[in-house]
Amino acid sequence: MDPHRVPVIIGVGQVSDRDEEVTSFDLTLEALLRAEADAGTACLGHLDTLELVKQNSWPPAEEMGPRLAAALPAPPRRAPMVHTAHGDIPLRLLNDAANRIAAGEIALAAVAGGEGLRSAARRAQREAAEGQKRDLMRERLLRDATPVAGKYGLLTPTDIYPLFENAMRAAWGQSLAEGQRESAQIWSGFSAVAAVNPHAWIRRPHDVEEILAEGAGNRPIAFPYPKLMVANNAINQGAAVLVASLAFARAAGIAEENLVYVGAGAAAHESDFFWERADYTRSPSLEVAVRKTLAWNGLDAARLDHVEFYSCFPCVPKAARRAIGLGLDRPLSVSGGLTFAGGPGGNYMTHAAAAMVERLREGGQHGFLLANGGWFSDCHCLALSRTPPATGTLPRDYDAQSAADAARGRVPPFLEHYTGPGRIETYTVIYGRDGSPAFGTIIGRTPEDARFVARVPTEDASTIALLTSGEVEPVGMAGRAVEGTEGRVFWRM
């Protein structure tokens, strides 16, 4: 095996900073410097590429590359690239770097990102009128929203992921209480991991009952998720990973026990439009990416010592553990999850990869990373190991789209202005900051099996109560779509 074509991770760096003036630039640069210190060699002046995860906070993305290049001992050979802020992007960039090293194109790459979202929120509050609280993420998404998403208020991840949660729970034959308890068990495990992670934002274990109990500190966000089950993006965090050829690592004198080998990855994509899914009970892209990654690395569930499942909302790790075949007794994160370790925009999986490297250095042979992006629409998986991958594993095209497309069922036609009888395919209820329902949303099917969206207005308290009580399963229930206000369709039971 040619050591010039074997990709290894030589250094990782993470930073969590509660200073409300710190910027995403500060966080990214500090993470890169910490990764270099972890590698134990002055290497930032020898980068072939610097791949950056786009940030949502200040400074503007177009400034980040040039500013970071100027701050390094020497600029990378290729100008730094800033990539979309999706949760799957860090693994794609790590996979790209490993493939380029395996192809003999580069010897050293860095993947990094930082989010000063806590600082940005405080800045926005100061600039806004006194007492006014702005939701920067929702404002940005509203500007870019499709008419359907804008009209029905399905703008943010917290609006859309519950649609998958409720459909999956029903498909798995769980009651509401059973589904919520599974979520709380997984999240409690995440909090225990975060409690011993020095880079985590919330370092306190939470038991299952605490996560289940809604209250002032755990208000409902979007049914069935309370605050302790959703990503926490009110953070200032940065992370970086240095990927090099084995030859570079050896020439730099990096100890073999600090090296972690990068294996093959797989990725696939679902439609970005939530109404264009075959159904809401599964993700063919996730399932295919999992199977391909395990097969290409000669792994199975029994050989995985550590896993990290993207955890913006419970439906993702719940689907992932079923796809791989892991029980609830297994820890599903090495970092602590997006609620407790922190949810730095699209950069969480850079933190997760860094944590996986640290965990593998402590013990175990194989780690499995599963990233999710968009609206449960993008999945990228990647294997990391303490031993070199088999000859021929890399370089490898990670695109598994054709297999995901083949595994997907028929996508029903969508009727934007449907009125008439129907049945509930999935649903959610969105809550205000005071914990009261703002509105409900129904995804429905017509008698001819077309799909439509309808709103449950706040004043329809009886329907909202039925959707959220847990006494009956709303999925599959019959009702009627009727003309509403502001061009919307309303749902009546």
Quick one: three-class SS letters along 172-235? CCCCHHHHHHHHHHHHHHHHHHHHCCCCCCCCCCCCHHHHHCCECCECEEECCEEHHHCCCCCC
- Per the structure block, which two tokens stand in for 410? 């028929």
- Enter the DSSP assignment of 363: S
Q: If pLDDT is split at 50, 70 and 90, which confidence band does 129 have?
A: low
**CB 245 within 8 Å of CB 7:** yes
- Residue 157: asked if its preceding bond is cis (omega within 30°), the reply is no
Lowest mean pLDDT among 55-59, 86-90, 370-374, 478-482: 55-59
Q: What pLDDT shows up at residue 124?
A: 74
Query: Given this model, what pLDDT does residue 318 score?
Result: 98
- In 386-432, where do the E strands start and end? 420-431
- What are the backbone dihedrals phi and psi of residue 481, each rounded to the nearest 5 degrees, phi first? -90, 125
- Looking only at the bridges linking them, the beta strands covering 49-53 and 81-83 are parallel
pLDDT of residue 147: 83
* pLDDT for residue 286 is more than 90: yes
Phi, psi (deg, nearest 5) at residue 240: -150, 150
CATH number of 3-118+235-389+396-407: 3.40.47.10
420-492: CATH architecture = Beta Barrel (2.40)
CA angle in degrees (0–180, nearest 5) for 302-342-301: 5
291-320 average pLDDT score: 98
Cβ atoms of 283 and 276 within 8 Å: the answer is no
The pLDDT assigned to 120 comes to 83
Query: What is d(CA 441, CA 428) in angstroms, rounded to the nearest whole number?
Result: 5
Question: Between residues 16 and 155, which one has the greater pLDDT?
Answer: 16
- The predicted pLDDT at position 132 comes to 56
Which DSSP helix (H) or strand (E) runs through 113? Answer: strand 108-116
For the cut 60, the answer to whether the pLDDT of residue 438 exceeds it is yes
pLDDT value of residue 363:
97
Through-space distance between the first and last CA atoms of the chain, rounded to whole angstroms: 65
* Whole-number Å distance between alpha carbons of 268 and 323: 15
The residues, ordered by sequence, that sit 6+ positions from 331 with a Cβ below 8 Å of its Cβ are 189, 193, 306, 307
| Structure tokens given for 390 | 């088999």
Q: Amino acid identity of 137?
A: M
Task: Decide: 490 and 457 in contact? Cβ < 8 Å.
Answer: yes
CA 278 to chain centroid, in Å, comes to 21
Q: In this structure, are strands 366-373 and 306-309 parallel, antiparallel, or unpaired?
A: parallel
Long-range CB contacts for residues 272-277, cutoff 8 Å, separation at least 24: 272/374, 272/375, 272/377, 273/146, 273/148, 274/149, 274/154, 274/160, 274/163, 274/375, 274/443, 275/148, 275/414, 275/443, 275/451, 275/453, 276/411, 276/414, 277/411
Q: Which residue has the tokens 């049945």?
A: 423
Helical segments of 19-109, H only:
24-39, 61-71, 89-102
pLDDT of residue 140: 60
Which pLDDT does position 142 carry in this prediction?
A: 62
Q: What pLDDT was estimated at residue 247? A: 98
Enumerate the domain spans of the chain.
3-118+235-389+396-407, 420-492
- Cα(106)–Cα(24) distance, rounded to whole angstroms? 27
CA distances from 200 to 10, 15, 18, 29, 366 (A): 22, 9, 12, 19, 23
Residue 320 CA to residue 311 CA, distance in Å, equals 10
Packed helices 176-195 and 157-171: angle between N→C axes, nearest 10 degrees: 120
